Amino acid sequence: MTDVVSRAHPYMANSTDEARKHMLNAIGIQDVDELFEQIPPGHRTGHRFDLPDALTSEVSLKRHLTGVLGKNENCESYLSFLGGGIWQHHVPAICDEVWARSEFLTSVWGTAASDLGRNQAWFEYASQLGELIGMEFVGLPVYSWGAAVGHSFRMAARITGRRQVVLSSLMDPEREAVAKTYCGFAEQEGHIELIHVDHDPATGRLDLADLERKITDETAAVYFENPSYLGIIEDQGSRIAAMARNKGAETIVGVDPISLGVIAPPSDYGADITIGTTQPLGVHMNGGGGVGGFIATRDEERYAREYPTLQVSLADTIVPGERGFGMTLFGQSSYGSREDGNDWTGNSVYLWAIANAVYMSVMGPAGFEEVGKSILQRSRYAARQISSLPGVSVRWGAGFFKEFVVDFNATGRTVAEMNAALRDKQVFGGGDLSQDFPSFGQAALYCVTEIHTLDDIDYLVDSIGEVLAR
């Protein structure tokens, strides 16, 4: 008789002497070590594992985690104007309520019948996103916008048999770095070459004359974003797409879907492949972990057969009139065809697709229009007020959505100095562009969304003013 009170680990039902004995007996061995007989002695480690002491009790574990995570500040404890690829939007409480349901949280693969609800939610994600962006064929999400860019370039290369992509020189360097990883090195056979197009310094939009020079018979695709990384609304989409089409190239457009209640979907101006981010659709920033990406096209085999993703399709069951959902074109994925499949797939951000579906359902057409208008007005107001400060200007003061570039060059201050001083006022200033876009000098990318009130914006402007006055 040992301890009366068992200290079995709460996560493991068989963590009792009795259970272990029961299994050992049934297997017919004395010692669990016998089960490891396949591992040669020379492979087994003699290492004494030095891990922190176990916090087996939830009481201690929670205390510890709360203590550590409490060292973070966040965009609710501070007033934040950070954006640039991941944004603070309002996440309706029911988005979290739904994805956090244990059924969705713990599902793994299942069957069409037993995980019907999850599959239907995925289909509703694709269907609603398809309505928003004007596309009929939508894959399940990929890891991020950057991953979607990379996959879409590879799709275009396969479709056209060409190996160059022409894209804006003002792309998010983080996103472009991911895309480049998908394109390989020059000495490799399948390498995709990225060719930058200048922008019009006066408007921030693509320089069409330069684009004309850069699109050739080698061009697989032209890629631009709307709104762009720096917030600019690109209004030359139809002409860009026409130029691409003339040379037999695909037009790929990256969008922030929260803008689509007020801005036309890329299908309206000629996009062949529409990609973008899913994070603004009801997913928290999660320190950068909230990202997700989508790929969508017209429902044509030319495109459908080049998808790397899994996609869920409405299907019949063996009972007439009954609906279910199954994976279409599974065989062309890496699950189906290993290295002969399109790129690869795996665990992605499918739970966020459920949050996205809930988000689009609560928003409806009016919600998207309202949030778009709210962002347009609030961000324009913020830009206007900020540019009224002495020495501060906004690089492109019109024709932007949600984000704009604030120019501090004439103030003699660096963005780093400004942001450090703003932090003392509980404000996260806009993202520092001085490293990534040295030609801009001291400039910052400010983001204003539907969560920012008049008072928030005025507080920001007053704070910048006070810092500058020092």
Ligand X SMILES: Cc1ncc(COP(=O)(O)O)c(C=O)c1O
Rounded distance between C-alpha atoms, residue 451 and residue 456, angstroms = 9
Site string for another protein, 172-211 (x = CB under 8 A): -xxx-xx-xxxxxx-xxxxx--------------------
Residue among 239, 285, 278, 288 nearest 255 (CA): 278
Tell me the closest approach of the beta carbon of residue 382 to another protein, in angstroms.
Answer: 9
Is 160 or 345 the residue whose CB approaches another protein more closely?
Answer: 345
Within 327-346, the residues that bind ligand X by CB under 6 A are: 346
Number of other residues whose CB lies within 10 A of the CB of residue 8: 15
Query: Can you tell me the distance from the alpha carbon of 326 to that of 115, in angstroms, rounded to the nearest whole number?
Result: 11
Interface positions, 16-55, toward another protein (CB under 8 A): 19-20, 22-24, 26-28, 32, 34-40, 42-45, 47, 49-55
- State which of positions 356-395 bind ligand X (CB under 6 A): none
Residue 264's binding partner out of another protein, ligand X, none, with CB under 5 to 8 Å set by partner kind: another protein
Q: 28 vs 346, which CB is nearer to ligand X?
A: 346
229, 428, 440, 446: residue in contact with another protein (rule CB under 8 A): 428
Q: Does 318 help bind another protein (rule: CB under 8 A)? A: yes
Closest contact distance (angstroms) between CB of 375 and another protein is 9
Closest separation between CB of residue 454 and ligand X, Å?
Answer: 45
Which window, 15-23, 242-250, 404-412, 462-470, contacts another protein (CB under 8 A)?
15-23
Report the site for another protein in 337-376 (rule: CB under 8 A): 337-341, 343-352, 354, 357-358, 360-374, 376
The answer to whether 222 and 236 are in contact (CB under 8 A) is no
Cα atoms in the 13 Å half-sphere on the side-chain side of 173: 8
Which of 452, 451, 432, 453 shows the shortest CA–CA distance to 443? 432
For the segment 223-282, give every residue that binds another protein (CB under 8 A): 226, 233-235, 237-238, 260-265, 268-269
Output the six-digit token pair for 134.
């004007």
CB nearer to another protein: give 166 or 295.
295
Tell me the residue type at 192: I
Closest among 134, 104, 99, 118 to 312, alpha carbons compared: 118
> What separation, in Å, do the N-terminal and C-terminal C-alpha atoms of the chain show?
74
Choosing among ligand X, another protein, none, which partner's interface includes residue 456 (Cβ < 5 to 8 Å by kind)? none
**CA triple 183-189-192, angle to 5 deg:** 25
Tokens of 469: 């006055």
DSSP, collapsed to helix, strand or coil, labels residue 404 as: strand
Residue 347, interface with ligand X (CB under 6 A)? yes
